[in-house]
Structure formats: C-alpha cells, structure tokens
Amino acid sequence: EAAVTQSPRNKVAVTGGKVTLSCNQTNNHNNMYWYRQDTGHGLRLIHYSYGAGSTEKGDIPDGYKASRPSQENFSLILELATPSQTSVYFCASGGDWGGQNTLYFGAGTRLSVL
C-alpha cells in the first residue's frame, strides 16, 4: 500500500515566523509534490521534485521554498510566514508518467498563520 506521511498534521504559526512542513513517502517514487488547497481554488501546485536534490517551481511558488534531501523526504519551507499562507497543504508522490500511475496523497497539514 502506497504511503505518504505528513507532519505536523496541524500547525499554528505567527506572522514572520519560519515554518517547515515535512513529507515522507515509502513508495520509492521519483516524483513528489506540494499542493495547497483553498476554497474556490481546488489544489494548486507549489513545488515539486523529480528526485533527490531536485526541486522545481510549480504554479504558485512565491513565498515558499522546497527541499528534497533524499528519495523519501520532501519539505516545504515558509521562511517568513504570512496570514495569506493559511491553508491546507498536501504532499503527494507519484511514479513516472504512463499507464495508471497516479499520485498518492498524504492526509494534509492544516496551517494557520496568525
């Protein structure tokens, strides 16, 4: 069973503080993703990675950094958190394009920036 684990599940941060969201996958997938979900917007891609050491900007990367130190781990970093970054964040992993390969999602992290 594909497994993607996010931590923490809930986080309250102060404006201007640094926040790190972590993601671990045991699927041995090359690709990992960070999405945020907001009402009326669906899921929007922030950063993604094709393998250890690589990170790519998604559709809404401003204010976020990403780090992929290993195949299994992918972090999302908010250096200076702002209230507009209050959202639910989802990490996902996926194999290479083709067939029924799809993305497997973590349970989400609810972040509130006060």
Q: Contact positions toward another protein, by CB under 8 A? A: 31, 33, 35, 40-45, 48, 50, 58-59, 88, 90, 92, 94-97, 100-105, 107-108
What's the DSSP call for residue 91?
E
- Residue number, 62 or 100, with CB nearest to another protein: 100
- Neighbour tally for 18: CB within 10 Å: 11
- Residue number, 20 or 30, with CB nearest to another protein: 30
CA distance 14 to 52: 30
- Residue number, 11 or 44, with CB nearest to another protein: 44
- Residue number, 82 or 101, with CB nearest to another protein: 101
3-class secondary structure, 112: strand
CA distance 17 to 97: 37
Rounded to a whole number of angstroms, the minimum distance from the CB of residue 108 to another protein is: 5
Rounded to a whole number of angstroms, the minimum distance from the CB of residue 94 to another protein is: 5
Instruction: Please name the residue ranges forming H helices in the chain.
Output: none
CA distance 49 to 16: 26
Rounded to a whole number of angstroms, the minimum distance from the CB of residue 48 to another protein is: 6
